[in-house]
Amino acid sequence: MRLHNFVAVLATSAFSSLAHAQISEQCVSSDVCYRLNIPASTARTGSGEIYLSIRGPTTNSWIALGQGSNGMDNANIFMIYTDGNGNVTLSPRHSRGETMPLYDSAVDAELLSGSGVQDDIMTANLRCNNCEGWQSNGRMDFTASSGGWIHARSSGGAMDSSDVEAPIAMHSSHGEFTWPFASAVGGASINPFAETNIAVNTTSGGENQSSINTEAVLWCHGVFASVAFVLLFPLGGVLIRVGSFPGLVWVHAGLQLFAWLLFVTAAGLGIYYGVIDDYMSQAHPIIGILLLGALLFQPLSGWLHHKRFIRTGGRSAFSYSHIWVGRVAILLGMINGGLGMQLSGVTTSYIIVYSVFAGIMGVAYLGAIGFGEITRKRERNTASNIHEMTSHKERATARRSSDA
Ligand code: HEM
Ligand code: HEM
Ligand SMILES: *[C@@H]1O[C@H](CO)[C@@H](O)[C@H](O)[C@H]1NC(C)=O
Ligand SMILES: *[C@@H]1O[C@H](CO)[C@@H](O)[C@H](O)[C@H]1NC(C)=O
């Protein structure tokens, strides 16, 4: 090979490795994607800048990508939201656990050109100069073959805030993934996302990727369980105490059975979410599972009580189990709903509305129990007084109409 040819080949390959930025893209939904470029020198030495891009529709109030493999424990998070002036706000944050990540001024990161809001899509191209190490000794090894990342976003209106410390609503969708670095390493560009000569390797929903729509699951869980415990269960309990009409037992049974199905569904959703998201050691899910266990046989005990009652006209062991398990479970469930809302961090106004409603239903229920027990005692006294006059059969028929 002639010398000038050799030099030309050398120059070309050197130049192309400079211009050829390798970009790895992870798409967690059809329109939310994250991109990563690790310049060759950072991959070789383990320290230096890296480049990240976050892109998604402005129907999200915020979108975030974080470094870390323990969920929200000690994660280094890049959050973006609209700034209200056609650009995005880059808010580097740190999270200690499953609470709102707070602004972290120790992160040395800046927005690059190409960032902005266009056609209802927000894009942040950014360079991070110290992403190999962050506070509380979180580290990411860019010489390794992969690293653990988390991502999340929150549906809702645009935030239009340039405040990097702006308070944010909880995520509506989130997940974790392992990012293989091989296809992200290469080049020495000062803004790889602005290059025309780039190689993008896209992975969507890779095998290590998990993403659940927590908003829908949580919403159904909270609403189903609340309807069961603050509306239907107490209503069924009140009815059997204060009502007296033919077929009352079956109205009670139907209502409670429907509420019971709602609760079992809600419990299933709660367990699914709690296991995936590691919440199962909290008071709320533990009380919930106790309730599920306690109420599992409630329809059966109710039915057995009824069968016994038809024959004897009085309370049996089944009755006491059915009545007392029911009473305790309903009141405990009402309280547990409040604990659930505390756990998920919903707005205080929701908790207030819930508490007022639960309070009214709880008092109405306790009132009905008191009223029912007093009436029952009085009826039994009357019944024994008129014992000589009325046949047993007639009395039983009269009392069976309420079954209580
Ligand atoms: C998950 C389903 C159910 C729940 C949570 C439930 C709950 C309750 C509660 C809390 C009470 C007592 C009301 C009070 O004094 O505080 C009660 C009473 C009663 N339940 Fe149920 N119930 C359920 C299903 C059924 C079924 C399927 C039947 C009948 C087939 C039934 C029949 C009765 C009867 C007859 C009473 C009155 C007992 C008495 O006072 O002697 N229940 N139920
Ligand atoms: C097996 C039973 C249950 C389990 C495993 C469970 C689990 C959970 C979990 C993991 C959360 C979300 C916490 C978070 O995101 O920070 C939650 C929220 C909630 N839970 Fe439960 N729960 C159970 C039973 C109940 C019961 C009996 C109620 C009674 C009303 C209830 C009402 C709620 C409410 C209102 C929320 C807030 C929902 C929202 O943010 O929209 N749960 N639960
Ligand atoms: C957004 O801000 C970055 C950093 O200041 C800048 O480079 C970029 O051009 C801006 N985008 C728009 C659309 O103004
Ligand atoms: C993309 O990256 C994966 C994993 O790093 C690799 O197996 C695959 O060959 C790459 N594809 C392209 C087109 O570079």
Pairwise CA distance, residues 301 & 323, whole Å? 9
262 shares its domain with 372: yes
Query: Which segments of the chain have a pLDDT < 50?
Result: 1-3, 6-19, 206-209, 386-401
In a domain, 357, yes or no: yes
In a domain, 14, yes or no: no
Domain boundary among 166, 181, 213: 213
In a domain, 1, yes or no: no
175 shares its domain with 236: no
Domain boundary among 213, 234, 256: 213
In a domain, 335, yes or no: yes
The tokens describing 81, both together, are 């939201």
Report which of 49, 77, 36, 52 is spatially closest to residue 164, judged by C-alpha positions. Answer: 77
In a domain, 315, yes or no: yes
Pairwise CA distance, residues 178 & 95, whole Å? 19
Report the pLDDT value the prediction gives residue 14, as an integer from 0 to 100. Answer: 44
Number of domains in the chain: 2
101 shares its domain with 207: yes
Question: Are 175 and 212 contacting, i.e. CB atoms less than 8 angstroms apart?
Answer: yes
205 shares its domain with 242: no
388 shares its domain with 240: yes
Q: Residue whose CA is closest, atom 7 of ligand 3?
A: 113
Please give the model's pTM, rounded to 2 decimal places. Answer: 0.61
227 shares its domain with 209: no
Ligand 3, closest atom to CA 110?
4
282 shares its domain with 312: yes
Does residue 332 have its Cβ closer than 6 Å to ligand 2? Answer: no
256 shares its domain with 377: yes
Provide Rg for the chain, Cα atoms: 31
- Which of 113, 119, 164 gets mutated to test ligand 3 (max ligand atoms within 8 A of its CB)? 113
CB neighbours of residue 307 within 10 Å: 12
The CA-CA-CA angle for residues 333, 338, 340, to 5°, reads 90
In a domain, 11, yes or no: no
In a domain, 101, yes or no: yes
Report the pLDDT value the prediction gives residue 316, as an integer from 0 to 100. Answer: 87
In a domain, 15, yes or no: no
237 shares its domain with 306: yes
278 shares its domain with 341: yes
Report the pLDDT value the prediction gives residue 89, as an integer from 0 to 100. Answer: 97
Map tokens 């967690």 to a residue.
28
291 shares its domain with 334: yes
Domain boundary among 192, 213, 234: 213
Report the pLDDT value the prediction gives residue 340, as an integer from 0 to 100. Answer: 93
Does residue 323 have its Cβ closer than 6 Å to ligand 1? Answer: yes
- Parent domain of 51: 20-213
CA of 309 from ligand 1 middle (Å) equals: 12
Half-sphere exposure of 144 (CA within 13 A, CB side): 10
264 shares its domain with 316: yes
Here the CATH number for the domain that contains residue 149 is 2.60.40.1210
Residues 6+ apart with CB under 8 A from 277: 98, 214
Of all ligands present, the nearest one to the C-alpha of 251 is 1
Does residue 276 have its Cβ closer than 6 Å to ligand 2? Answer: no
Greatest alpha-carbon span in the chain = 128
